[in-house]
């Protein structure tokens, strides 16, 4: 036997299969315990034991270990007039950090949160139209690196909201129309190899839905739809408190729906009025309701010679200019947005019939428009959803800002993470 070869007896012992199964079961149970505390801080050990259908002594063993390892903390409930006050459990912010990245064809948004889900720092990087796939991945990696290096606390996981279709099982970004060459990229394994932590990939609009579920208008809501509108449009579907992926991970990919195009300046006030424009022509939803589509419609109106404050703009018209014009009550821009809102209202009513959600949450740059978009959108919904036996959905705008997808990606990593056993 050569000196570089170890005998079987010298080799490091491998855990027996039963031991590996037991360790996995313990890690899963502790992760579920942490999720329960995360969902409702201020729980006692007795509460946890009751929820998990376990003996209090068993739960106590796991809780003690998680406290020793720095993931949980305890405090006493003081507002009690008799008896010994119960000891309540909370997440220890010092337990570690989680990084979330969200990007599309134009922007990379990244954030880092502590173990109690509180944001610590945010980074924004711009993607240029000339950037190659390699350059975009490099920018994502540098954003992660900056967030990892800003604090000594350990990073336990990374979540990435990826545009387009993904294979979450194999951590592969499959395809995205708006980045040339974005095909079959093993992004998860590449990032895991470089940063030496677990990486979790999710579609970026679903990341926005997760952010709403854990931080925003979806908190405590079992069934809702998050419509994310940016370079494209997609739907993050939460049903029974869980994210819906579908058989081939394409649930919510509504960008290709054939939808009616509302003539600018006409408003549908009910089903009869709706039919007048419903049959005129159909386009894919993304060609009507997305940032590029809105900019295209505004530029076409300017080329037709319509009056607008945007004629004073020097250089290319950007979405920020459109938003400013809308806030100033510019008639041309308001008409364009009203037409877009009509089509989106029609879509919302179809979604309402299929899923009957408790809420529909709009997320993305359109939310900077406030009532300039939400008002005609709700008006359109009220016109189309006229079935007396089917209530119109409740629609709200996200309040989480432009880092909502990154926040959702970080929370995804945090919720999927399990203690090493």
The per-residue DSSP string of 121-140 comes to EEEEEEPPTT--HHHHHHHH
What is residue 78's predicted lDDT score, i.e. its pLDDT?
A: 53
Exposure letters 202-218 (e unless 16+ CB within 10 A, then b) = bbbbbbbbbbbbbbbbb
Average pLDDT of the residues in 195-224: 94
Q: Where among 36, 59, 91 does a domain terminate?
A: 91
Asked if 197 and 304 sit in the same domain, the reply is: no
Q: Is the pLDDT of residue 134 over 90?
A: yes
Asked if 235 and 195 sit in the same domain, the reply is: no
CATH number at residue 22: 1.10.10.10
Spatial separation of the C-alpha atoms in residues 72 and 30, rounded to whole Å: 11
Asked if 183 and 275 sit in the same domain, the reply is: no
What is residue 9's predicted lDDT score, i.e. its pLDDT?
A: 46
What pTM was estimated for this model as a whole? 0.85
Largest CA distance in the chain: 88
The per-residue DSSP string of 328-360 comes to TT-HHHHHHHHHHHHHHHHHHHHHHHHH--SEE
What is residue 369's predicted lDDT score, i.e. its pLDDT?
A: 87
On the CB side of 304, CA atoms within 13 Å amount to 11
Q: Could you tell me if residue 5 is inside a domain?
A: no
* Token representation of residue 25: 């079961």
236 vs 22, more confident: 236
Asked if 251 and 386 sit in the same domain, the reply is: yes
Asked if 125 and 258 sit in the same domain, the reply is: no
Total tally of structural domains belonging to the chain: 3
What is residue 80's predicted lDDT score, i.e. its pLDDT?
A: 54
Q: Flag the least confident range among 263-267, 276-280, 396-400.
A: 276-280
Q: Could you tell me if residue 1 is inside a domain?
A: no
Average pLDDT of the residues in 95-103: 97
Other CB atoms within 10 A of residue 70 CB: 14
**Cβ–Cβ under 8 Å, residues 243 and 214:** no
On the CB side of 8, CA atoms within 13 Å amount to 0
Other CB atoms within 10 A of residue 294 CB: 24
What is residue 323's predicted lDDT score, i.e. its pLDDT?
A: 92
Spatial separation of the C-alpha atoms in residues 371 and 334, rounded to whole Å: 11
Q: Flag the least confident range among 18-22, 170-174, 337-341.
A: 18-22
Asked if 198 and 247 sit in the same domain, the reply is: no
Q: Could you tell me if residue 221 is inside a domain?
A: no
Q: Across all residues in the chain, what is the average pLDDT?
A: 88
Asked if 244 and 362 sit in the same domain, the reply is: yes
Backbone angles phi, psi at 154, to 5 degrees: -65, 140
Counting residues of the chain whose pLDDT is more than 70, the rounded percentage is 90
What's the distance, CA 254 to chain centroid?
A: 16
For residue 250, give its domain range.
229-397
Distances (CA, A) of 394 to 121, 138, 352, 373, 391: 33, 41, 10, 15, 9
Q: Could you tell me if residue 2 is inside a domain?
A: no
Asked if 409 and 376 sit in the same domain, the reply is: no
**Beta-strand pair 155-162/97-103:** parallel
Best mean pLDDT range from 50-54, 261-265, 371-375: 50-54
Asked if 235 and 353 sit in the same domain, the reply is: yes
Q: Flag the least confident range among 184-198, 275-289, 322-336, 361-375.
A: 275-289
**Beta-strand pair 258-260/282-284:** antiparallel
Confidence of residue 264 (pLDDT cuts 50, 70, 90): low
Average pLDDT of the residues in 332-336: 93
Q: Could you tell me if residue 180 is inside a domain?
A: yes
Binning the chain into helix, strand and coil, the percentages to the nearest 5 are 45, 20, 35
Q: Could you tell me if residue 30 is inside a domain?
A: yes
CATH number at residue 211: 3.30.420.40
Q: Could you tell me if residue 10 is inside a domain?
A: no
Q: Where among 91, 109, 128 does a domain terminate?
A: 91
Asked if 184 and 152 sit in the same domain, the reply is: yes
Asked if 179 and 324 sit in the same domain, the reply is: no
Q: Could you tell me if residue 106 is inside a domain?
A: yes
* Token representation of residue 416: 């999927």
Asked if 99 and 190 sit in the same domain, the reply is: yes
Spatial separation of the C-alpha atoms in residues 6 and 9, rounded to whole Å: 8
Q: Is the pLDDT of residue 383 over 50?
A: yes
Q: Where among 71, 91, 111 does a domain terminate?
A: 91
* Token representation of residue 57: 């002594």
Counting residues of the chain whose pLDDT is more than 90, the rounded percentage is 69
């Amino acid at each position: 036997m050569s000196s570089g070869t170890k005998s079987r007896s010298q080799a490091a012992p491998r855990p027996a299969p039963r031991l590996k199964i037991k360790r996995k079961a313990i890690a899963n149970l502790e992760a579920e315990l942490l999720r329960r505390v995360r969902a409702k801080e201020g729980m006692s050990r007795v509460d946890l034991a009751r929820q998990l259908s376990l003996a209090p002594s068993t739960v106590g063993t796991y809780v003690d270990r998680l406290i020793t390892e720095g993931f949980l903390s305890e405090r006493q409930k003081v507002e009690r007039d008799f008896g010994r006050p119960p000891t309540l459990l909370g997440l220890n912010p010092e337990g570690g950090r989680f990084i979330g990245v969200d990007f599309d064809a134009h922007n990379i948004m990244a954030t880092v949160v502590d173990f109690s889900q509180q944001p610590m720092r945010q980074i924004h990087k711009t993607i240029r139209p000339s950037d190659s796939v390699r350059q975009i991945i490099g920018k994502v990696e540098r954003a992660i690196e900056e967030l990892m290096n800003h604090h000594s606390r350990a990073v336990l996981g990374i979540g990435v909201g990826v545009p387009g279709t993904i294979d979450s099982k194999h951590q592969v970004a499959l395809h995205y129309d708006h980045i040339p060459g974005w095909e079959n990229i093993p992004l998860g394994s590449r990032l895991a190899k470089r940063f030496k932590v677990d990486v979790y990939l999710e579609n970026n609009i679903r990341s926005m839905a997760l952010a709403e579920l854990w931080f925003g208008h979806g908190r405590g809501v079992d069934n809702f739809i998050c419509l994310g509108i940016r370079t494209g449009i997609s739907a993050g579907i939460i049903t029974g408190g869980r994210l819906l992926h579908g058989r081939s991970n394409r649930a919510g990919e509504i960008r290709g729906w054939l939808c009616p195009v509302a003539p600018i300046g006409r408003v549908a006030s009910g089903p009869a009025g709706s039919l007048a424009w419903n049959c005129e022509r159909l386009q894919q939803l993304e060609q009507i309701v997305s940032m590029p589509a809105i900019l295209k419609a505004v530029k076409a109106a300017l080329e037709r010679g319509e009056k607008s404050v945007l004629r004073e703009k020097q250089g290319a018209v950007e979405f920020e200019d459109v938003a400013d014009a809308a806030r100033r009550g510019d008639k041309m821009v308001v008409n364009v947005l009203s037409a877009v809102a009509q089509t989106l209202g029609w879509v919302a009513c179809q979604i309402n019939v299929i899923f009957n959600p408790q809420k529909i949450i709009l997320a993305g740059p359109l939310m900077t428009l406030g009532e300039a978009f939400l008002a005609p959108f709700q008006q359109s919904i009220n016109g189309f959803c006229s079935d007396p036996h089917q209530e119109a959905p409740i629609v709200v705008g996200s309040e989480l800002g432009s880092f909502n997808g990154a926040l959702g990606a970080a929370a995804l990593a945090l919720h999927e993470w399990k203690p090493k056993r």
